[in-house]
Structure 1
Amino acid sequence: MIRVTTKKLIIVQFQHAMLRFHNAVVDLLLAVAFAGDIFAEAKRIVTHHYQWAVVHDFLERICGATAVNNAMTSVSAPIGSPFQMPVEFAVAAYRFGHSMVRDTYWVNFNFPNATLGKVFEFNRNPRLPVFSNWVVDFNAFFDTGVPVPVHNKARKIDSFMANGLESLPGFAGMMAILATRNLRRALALGLPSGQGMANAFGITPMTTAQLTSGLPAAEVAVLNSSGGLLLSKTPLWYYVLREAAVLHSGNQLGPVGGRIVAETFVRILKRDASSYLNVAGGFTPILPSSTAGDFTVADLVNFAGVTQP
């Protein structure tokens, strides 16, 4: 979720899982003696199942099923229509992940309490290629059904970032850097405030009491500075974080953040002629799944065969 390279040990191994997923689909097509272009068909199956999982597993967890369903019905994006990434998404709403990073990760049985610094260290020279005892156990990241002692559940979506970010090699003060960068970029690009975005969506903005609910005194003091300007025109990134924390206990984005994120993903998919949303007659996952007619990221890593490190 975070753009600095702290979690690349995990991210690059997930990319390896995606390669294994593709190869498993190729093997499946060979096993059934598929008569057409195997690689073209494998690409189609892999793409559609991954997109399905992104929408129905990831997006529904992050934005809520209601926001995703509303985006599906309300977003109009003809195939091939022009598209530019909304700055409200790129510079504010989709940066919610900065608050979800954990201080430590259960990587595998060899490293049950790996700090962010360690996770970072084992993806850089001279420790490349990745040591065999640092292979990520994806059962600790997804609900695969394989028992592990710890599940690396993300931290809540709120206005606090992991303390471990402060100890990254070569990234002293990372929490302040990330927060400052997010706020300055939003200001430079003229993003609307959280209240302005809410009003544009026809959503009742959060009250001052909600924005400050449960915050430490120092953070409330900052919000009250400059005549309370930050409470009446709250930076969109911060507003999205507080909205999630207050309205959904940090378990998913609120109505403003959820709508921005869900509509952006859905618009991308609807305008793409090759996406699963544009399959003639509709698309239903065909690969093995723990739930009939569904397909999750956990199903993906299971099918890829990377759940036994």
Structure 2
Amino acid sequence: MARHAQKAYLARQNKRITLFERRKTPKDIGHDEFLALVQLANAPAYKHVFGRHEKTGLPSINALVALGEALARKPYESSDDSDIPAGYTYFGQFILHDISFIGPGKDPANDRTPALDLDSVLPIDASVIPGSGCHGSGPLPIGCTSGSVVMPEDLPRVDLGLPEEGKPLIVDNRNDDFLPLAQCHVALLKFFNAIAKKEGYDPAKKGSYGNVWWQKVRRIWLQHFQSAVLHDYLPRIVDRCSFHSVMQHGRCIVKTNGSSQNQDWLPLEFGAAVARFGHSMIRDSYRPWNGIEGLARLSEFMESSYANSGDKLNSSAHRLLRNWVTNWFLLLDFSGTAYDALAIEPIKAGKINLNLSPALASLPNCLFEDLCLNPAPGDVFGLAEETMKTGHELGLATAQHAVSLTNAALVSKQQPALPYLLPEQIPTDDPSIRQVFIDNPELLTRTPLWYYILREAEHFGGGCHLGPLGSRIVMETIHAAIESSANSILFQPAWRPELPSAHLGYFSMPDLIVMAGHPNPIG
């Protein structure tokens, strides 16, 4: 199983690493020291944009437990498809990891920079990552798959025979918890290397490139990714009204003071509740999945990681098996790209709703630990219940309070107020869930933010995009994350892709994959 859905991910109990002497260069130190180098001595703080709420103003824990248990019992509908290609599920999770990593306690710190600056892949103050690459794949190392024919399609990992063999040599180990997410990370590594090659990179001269050259490669890499997030990912996830309102009139609830130096702005409501909408988009299984015959199950994706040490990764080579390499043609639409002739109808993500995959609805308690090798049968916790209880512990506002404050901010800027769910629209048609609201009427007027975000997506968006409140929070947060980057395209209105793109004015996720290499490496 995977930490991306565990309690420790909901309120991470990680150890803070003190920043040591920054004059050391990454190429001269080990990986653990390198990770210590990129930790922030004074980690950014989250902000309650809707205020911190005392427990007396929130629904009771008993009500949340009852609602979580009812959601866990809700029948799973595997055919509940959105119109969003499945690849955007995992790019969305990757974006969340790049800007948010919740630390422990009631006032958690953010162990990432809130800017969308790809520091989860390549730290801002570094040009290389320690570790050996596969077949000299570029300045950023990429790991080899296992088997007789190896390919540079895995995360860089600790070599065979060394302590912790197979451990990912990446900045944020959460990106190895789930195979499609790890493959997104690999795609960003390959994308960087492709840009470096385009800019004249020669492995034989790798020590001769100065800071100006590295920063140019990083700028091209980052700005094209930002364009894909802003103009390809977000329009699929949020409603049109929220997208165009923020793009044309700016933000009203997420404030950054317009400076990349201010890092204490990321909404805790986003990191601990709203951004968790992506869990519902994860399918229980995918058919097909490259060289895998039959169904590729969610549990197998989870096992294909070092932390979970399943039989997919825990081979004699401690590397990803070659036939599990992602076929991106199945996950994204490549129409209009250089691979237009090979484009097919991609697998669709699940709808954004209260329909959680059984593999995510109940998770083993051993996920509290770094490794989850032998989960005891029945020793589980409910994802829905823990998400809502975490929101309660962090004092997150109820949905009704969040809507009220958001609408007040919009009206003050002469923007239309958001529509919202009426009390009778908040329960679902599921009998068990409706009974919880009958037994706990407080939930109708003090609804947990996470539940409300999924329910309004069902009601207003048919599950094919977020509802009004969720759209506004996600759009404003990611817009602010892009603005907070030192190389933000939002400060360059005339910015256009300088890399090949299927669209005249912006870059897309399929464009990124095409630039990184063939969408189906083993095809």
TM-score past 0.5 threshold? yes
Residue aligning to 2:31:
none
Counterpart CA distance in 1 for 2:189 and 2:480 is 26
Specify the alignment match of 1:99 in structure 2.
280
The one-letter code of the counterpart of 2:392 is L
**Residue 266 (structure 2) pairs with residue 85 (structure 1):** yes
Unpaired runs of 5+ in structure 1?
none
Aligned to 1:288: 500
Structure 1 residues 107-256: aligned runs within 5 Å: 107-124=289-306, 125=309, 126-127=314-315, 128-145=318-335, 147=342, 151-165=346-360, 166=362, 170=375, 177-202=382-407, 203-213=418-428, 215-226=429-440, 228-256=441-469
CA distance in 1, matches of 2:3, 2:487: 29
Amino acid at match of 2:321: F
- Relative to structure 1, the CA distance from residue 26 to residue 118 in structure 2 (aligned partners, 3 Å threshold; closer, same or farther) is same
Contact 2:329–2:344 (Cα < 8 Å) also in 1:
no
Q: Which stretch shifts more, 1-10 or 294-303?
A: 1-10
Distance verdict in 2 for CA 1:10–1:289, change over 3 Å? same
Q: Which residue of 1 aligns with 2:192?
A: 22
Q: Whose Rg is larger?
A: 2
Alignment check: 8 A CA contact 1:2 1:101 kept = no
Instruction: Give distance in 2, aligned partners of 1:174 and 1:149.
Output: 41
**Structure 1 pair 306/16, CA: closer, same or farther in 2 (3 Å)?**
farther
Greater Cα offset, 16-25 or 270-279: 270-279
Structure 1's 90 and 40: CA in aligned 2 closer, same or farther, altered over 3 A? Answer: same
Cα distance in 1 for residues equivalent to 2:269 and 2:210: 46
Tell me how far 1:68 sits from its aligned partner: 2.5
**Pair 113,89 (structure 1): closer, same or farther in 2 beyond 3 Å:** same
Question: 1:36 and 1:232, CA in 2 relative to 1: closer, same or farther beyond 3 A?
Answer: closer
Specify the SS of the correspondent of 1:212.
Answer: coil
Aligned identity (percent) is 30
Once the 2 structures are TM-superposed, how far is the Cα of residue 173 of structure 1 from its aligned partner? 7.0
RMSD over equivalenced CA pairs, Å: 2.8
Taking the aligned partners of 1:277 and 1:186, their CA distance within structure 2 comes to: 32
Encode CA deviations 1:133-174: one digit per residue, 9 max, x unaligned.
Answer: 111111111112454777332100111201233588738679
SS at match of 1:3: helix
Distance 1:183 1:35, change over 3 A: closer
Return the structure number with greater helix share: 1
Matched AA of 2:437: L
Distance 1:92 1:173, change over 3 A: farther
My pick for the range that moved more, 167-176 or 196-205, is 167-176
Partner of 2:231: 56
1:74 aligns with 2:250: yes
- Distance between the aligned counterparts of 1:110 and 1:193, measured in 2? 44
Q: Which moved more, 1:45-54 or 1:132-141?
A: 132-141
Tell me the equivalent position of 2:183: 13
Query: Contact conserved, 1:284 with 1:293, CA < 8 A, in 2?
Result: yes
Report the Cα offset of residue 42 of structure 1: 1.1
Does the CA contact (< 8 Å) of 1:56 and 1:296 recur in 2?
yes
Instruction: Give the C-alpha shift of residue 37 in structure 1.
Output: 3.7
**1:149–1:277 Cα change, 3 Å:** closer
Deviation, 1:253, is 0.7
* One-letter identity of the residue aligned with 1:266: H
Residues 175/238 of structure 1: CA separation in 2 closer, same or farther (3 Å cut) = farther
Hey, what's the Cα distance between the residues in 1 that align with 2:427 and 2:363?
Answer: 28
Q: Distance in 2 between matches of 1:113 and 1:149?
A: 19
2:178 is paired with a residue whose SS is: helix
Contact 1:26 1:38 (8 Å CA) reproduced:
no
Q: Which moved more, 1:216-225 or 1:157-166?
A: 157-166
Select which of 259, 262, 272 maps to 2:485: 272
Change (3 A) 1:199 1:119: same
When structure 1 is superposed on structure 2, of 237-246 and 83-92 the one drifting more is 83-92
Name the TM-score, length of structure 1 as normaliser. 0.88
**CA separation of 1:167 and 1:181: change in aligned 2, threshold 3 A:** closer
Q: What is the SS of the residue equivalent to 2:495? A: coil
Worse-matched range after superposition: 159-168 or 103-112: 159-168
Residue 298 of structure 2 aligns with an amino acid whose one-letter code is: L
Equivalent residue number for residue 34 of structure 2: none
Distance 1:273 1:171, change over 3 A: farther
Closer/same/farther in 2, CA of residues 59 and 2 from structure 1, 3 Å limit: farther
* d(CA) in 1 for partners of 2:269, 2:240: 21
Which structure exhibits the higher relative contact order, with contacts defined as CA atoms closer than 8 Å and separated by 6 or more residues?
1
- 1:48 maps to a residue whose letter is Q
Q: Secondary structure of 2:426's partner?
A: helix
**1:116, CA displacement in angstroms?**
1.2
| Aligned pairs, number | 304
* Letter of the structure 1 residue corresponding to residue 292 of structure 2: N
The Cα offsets for residues 27-66 of structure 1, whole Å up to 9 and x where unpaired, read as: 22229xx999432211100100001111111111111343
Amino acid at match of 1:217: P
Unaligned runs of 5+ in 2: 6-173, 202-208, 365-373, 408-417
Distance 1:12 1:269 in 2: 22
Change (3 A) 1:98 1:131: same
CA distance in 2, matches of 1:97, 1:36: 37
User: Deviation at 1:221?
Assistant: 0.7
Measured in 2, the distance between the counterparts of 1:69 and 1:239 equals 23
Contact 1:102/1:164 (<8 A) preserved: no
1:36–1:170 CA distance, 2 compared to 1 (3 A): closer
Query: Quick one: which amino acid aligns to residue 284 of structure 2?
Result: D
